[in-house]
Amino acid sequence: MLIYTLRRILTMIPILFLVSIVVFALALAMPGDALSGQINPANANPEYIEEMREELGLNDPIHVQYGRWIAGIVQWDFGRSVVHSRDVTQVIGDRLPNTILLSAVSLIITYILAFLMGRYAGRNPYTKGDYAIQGTNYLMLAIPSFVAALFAIFIFSFQLGWFPSTGSVGRGLEAGTLDFWISKLYHTFLPALVLGALVTASYTQFLRNDIIESSQKDYVRTARAKGTSESDIYNKHILRNSIIPIVTLFGFDIASIIGGAVIIETIFSYRGIGELLITSIQQRDSAVVLAVTLMLSVATLLGNLLADLLYGVIDPRIRVE
Amino acid sequence: MEAVTETKLEKQAKKQSPWSIARKKLIRNKLAVISLTFLIVVTAMAYLAPFITGYDPTQVDIMNRTTPPGEGYLLGTDSSGRDIWSLLMYGARTSLTIGFVCTFAVILIGTVIGSIAGYYGGWVDAVLMRFTDFMMNFPFLVFVIVLASIFRDAGIWALIIVLSVLSWTGAARVVRSKVMSEKENEYVMAAISIGGTPFKVIRKHLLPNVMTTIIVQATLILAVMIVAETALSFLGFGVPQGTPSWGNMMSEARDPNVIRTQWWVWIPPGLAITFTILSINFIGEGIKDAFNPRSAR
């Protein structure tokens, strides 16, 4: 397992290098100066731009620029945000906790819902409850997240008034107090629920089918023959086997949440990384766009790595190539 | 007497090609048939829009902005006084066309790369698959948004190219693994031994047998592409504003006031997208089931 882990981490290095080159190419194509964020895109005076380009070294050969950019990143320097007049690391640092909270709450809701619904549908297949859950699943798999978000806001925020429709925290609350955190969770619940809907549906479906399949297996028949109670069979024998494959998908969840968060945060005006990406693109704040893109790419890469490693833990055949 | 029944059976057996069995199974699948009918009707309405609606979707009626459904307009008007019903049909045309074109491109790229990698194996396979893995590592939506914002002025074709170039990896993997298992069969060896060129063996012998996998994959991709287009247009990075598309119609709902008070502006396109995706999913499952010899339907 150790050798497998090390090998898998080592293969990350060339991929990281290639990803950085792709992101760098994007930076050159972006308006303004994405590498350091010093040129104000609002100022279109050609003399000013030429002067700044010369000063910032944007007329240097490309490999020199790339080297300078990578050296900066290694030293945790992502340039400056023109719009916020602050370092990009600070701008992102302000938003990151919100996105992490949203993702964590989303995953927790996903796992709880999928566990409860999948277990119920798996234990009572082809009943009314099962059909209701399956119907919901098909709908959740089909509805795009932004449409689901709008319906959720319309129903739960405006018609029922249960949850706030925008923002990540209530106004006038002091950071760190208990009220502040409660308000934060309250604001996070609805976007987190919508963000997890797709994954919830696929996990529920997976768990249901796996439980039904397992209940026909020999070890379950043996357990029944020995007089094990029905609830013990389902909770101790079947569930443990069925849950393992879902746990290995945790890494892929990270990747899918990253894409979803961009849309969901924008709709709910939730002050996280995804919303920052969209507003920065609109305000042509290229340095922030570049840093967020790089960060999300690396996060996806790590998510995939984690998925592979977890899979290796579960299935020993994966480890030997 | 016996001989007669035998020939009848033989005839019946001859008629039962895998495709005709699958077709029969598919027709018996009610959900798939209803979905297919729905998709055909929506597509027909999209491309025959001028014959169905009297209103021009880009025509602005200043006197009747945000009219609720009923009064003169079947589904009301949006904030610039455009007729929602005609926008819906012309929007379907844009969204479905982008979906179909992207799906075609994705399947083409995926099939070419997947079948070459699967057929040749060895270093060709290694290089192509490492490249595929590499492309899979990017967060799809983030890259589509960033690229679409860079090529924003280039119009619909730039969007189609960006979407296609970033989404062929899944199809390539599936086709590759299917080709790899298929090429172990004797008929492929026979085709090669009588001097069939790789291109001919792939096109004439392997691809027809991989076809069902490709068709199922295409339905999945079609759904993903329609969602991607509408989501991008909703965020303002997709189809140019002013061009009717389901996503552009939804983008009015980025204003919370529209969500709250003008439900007729965003609910119709929202439902149209959802039901289209739902029907595509059911068709895909129906096809998968129809070609699965183990399914008992």
Q: Do B259 and A289 touch (CB under 8 A)?
A: no
Distance (Å) of CA B47 to CA B88, B189, B289? 12, 46, 30
- Rounded CA separation A289/A107 (Å): 26
For residue B63, is it within any domain? no
Residues A65, A73 contacting (CB under 8 angstroms): no
Query: Given this model, what pLDDT does residue B66 score?
Result: 66
Find the CB nearest A262 among B141, B253, B277.
Answer: B141
Residues B174, B113 contacting (CB under 8 angstroms): no
End-to-end CA distance of chain A: 12
- Containing domain of residue B162, as a range? 19-46+90-291
Q: Which residues of chain A have pLDDT under 70?
A: 32-44, 55, 57, 170-173, 318-321
- Rounded CA separation B17/A238 (Å): 40
Chain A CB within 8 Å of residue B146 CB = yes
Min Cα distance A158 → chain B (Å) is 6
For residue B285, is it within any domain? yes
ipTM over 0.85: no
Burial of B61-81, coded b for 16+ CB within 10 Å and e otherwise, reads: eeeeebbeeeeebebbbbeeb
Q: Which residues of chain B have pLDDT under 70?
A: 1-15, 54-55, 57, 59-67, 70-76, 78-81, 295-297
For residue B51, is it within any domain? no
Report residue B212 CA to chain centroid gap.
Answer: 15
Chain A residue with Cα closest to B141: A259
For residue B72, is it within any domain? no
Q: Could you give the count of Cα atoms lying within 13 Å of B273 in the half-sphere of its Cβ?
A: 32
Q: Which residue has the tokens 């050969």?
A: A61
For residue B69, is it within any domain? no
Amino acid at B73: Y
- Rounded CA separation B115/B172 (Å): 8
Q: Which of residues 245-264 of B touch A (CB under 8 A)?
A: 250, 253-254, 256, 259-260, 263
For residue B56, is it within any domain? no
Predicted TM-score (pTM) of the model is 0.86
Amino acid at A183: S
Q: Do B281 and A141 touch (CB under 8 A)?
A: yes
Q: Do B142 and A150 touch (CB under 8 A)?
A: no
What tens digit of pLDDT does each residue of B116-159 get? Answer: 999 888 899 989 988 888 888 888 888 888 888 888 777 788 88
For residue B85, is it within any domain? no
Q: Do B253 and A150 touch (CB under 8 A)?
A: yes
Query: Given this model, what pLDDT does residue B1 score?
Result: 44
From the list B97, B29, B73, B35, the residue with the least C-alpha distance to B274 is B35
What's the Rg (C-alpha) of chain A?
24
The number of folded domains in chain B is: 1
Find the CB nearest A15 among B137, B142, B282.
Answer: B137
- Rounded CA separation A203/B279 (Å): 21
Min Cα distance A293 → chain B (Å) is 7
Chain A CB within 8 Å of residue B266 CB = yes
For residue B206, is it within any domain? yes
Q: Do B138 and A304 touch (CB under 8 A)?
A: no
Q: Do A146 and B250 touch (CB under 8 A)?
A: yes
Residues A279, A291 contacting (CB under 8 angstroms): no
For the CA atoms of B58, B62, B67, B71, the dihedral, rounded to the nearest 10 degrees, stands at: -90
Domain containing B284 — which CATH number? 1.10.3720.10
Domains of chain A from N-terminus onward? 2-87 (no CATH), 89-314 (1.10.3720.10)
What tens digit of pLDDT does each residue of A176-204 get? Answer: 777 777 888 888 888 988 988 888 898 89
